[in-house]
Amino acid sequence: MGKLDIITIVIIAANVIVSYKGFGDFGFFEKYKFNIGAIRRGEQIRMFSSGFLHADTTHLFFNMFALYLFADQVLYEVGQYSFFIIYIGSLLAGNMLSLYFHKNEYHYSAVGASGAVTGVLYSAILLNPQQPYYFLFLPPRIGDIDLGIPGYILGIAYLLYSIYGMKKRIGNIGHDAHFGGAVGGYLITLILVPHLFKTDILMVGVLALPILLLFVLRRSGKI
């Protein structure tokens, strides 16, 4: 990885400052976390503020590390201003999908930048779908075998897992926020970089398949 861009530093700093404020101030944490009941009472700021709070330092570290890994790829393609729009738009899209899926669960709460980070990840994949991704702590090759996974396969697999996680409610994880963030990253990137419809229409369609699958499953009442 190269030198961190200033916009990435600002976003990471904001997450660290707000999260650490929440770690030490329970009232602050409760006031600004994502909570269905509070949002439906009109506290819309939680749709935004919850994306900068985290449950603990491990949660914060992994989200910021993932942002560090993928931010430069998107920044290189779209620039700082568009990157910021993708990040914030994905954050809000993730929380909007969570609100939609849990709208009648008034005690449902969540925190974290996962939706925003997943949006950046899906944007990076859309912009460079063939780029290989490698597992941490494993060598890139074993003999003549390249262990890299093409981005579009990683992206589709991740969203399929998110659908499964939503259906089965696996773990204390906001799978719907992850999925919504990816949708936000996908759509906003297409709006900002419309030439993708001409230069890589096949991958635009392929990466839309999990999104269409979720729509079909939701319409059929299976999720």
Closest by CA to 114, choosing from 170, 181, 165, is: 181
With a cut of 90, say whether residue 211 has pLDDT above it.
yes
Residue type, 198: K
* DSSP-derived secondary structure letter, 52: G
Band of residue 169 on the pLDDT scale cut at 50, 70, 90? confident
Band of residue 172 on the pLDDT scale cut at 50, 70, 90? confident
Q: What is the chain's alpha carbon radius of gyration, rounded to the nearest angstrom?
A: 17
Higher pLDDT, 88 or 143: 88
For 32-44, what is the mean pLDDT? 97
Give the integer Cα–Cα distance in Å for 206 and 185: 15
pLDDT for res 136: 73
Closest by CA to 19, choosing from 53, 51, 48, 42, is: 53
Q: What is the mean pLDDT of the chain?
A: 93
Is CATH 1.20.1740.10 correct for 6-219? Answer: no
Tokens of 195: 């030439």
Residue 116 CB partners (closer than 8 Å, separation 6+)? 51, 67, 87, 88, 90, 91, 94, 181
Give the integer Cα–Cα distance in Å for 118 and 166: 16
Q: Structural domain boundaries of the chain?
A: 6-219
Residue type, 6: I
Model confidence over 118-156: pLDDT tens digits? 999 999 999 999 999 887 777 777 877 878 899 999 999
Band of residue 93 on the pLDDT scale cut at 50, 70, 90? very high
Tokens of 55: 């449950």
Closest by CA to 53, choosing from 97, 94, 103, 110, is: 110
Give the integer Cα–Cα distance in Å for 147 and 149: 7
Tokens of 215: 């729509």
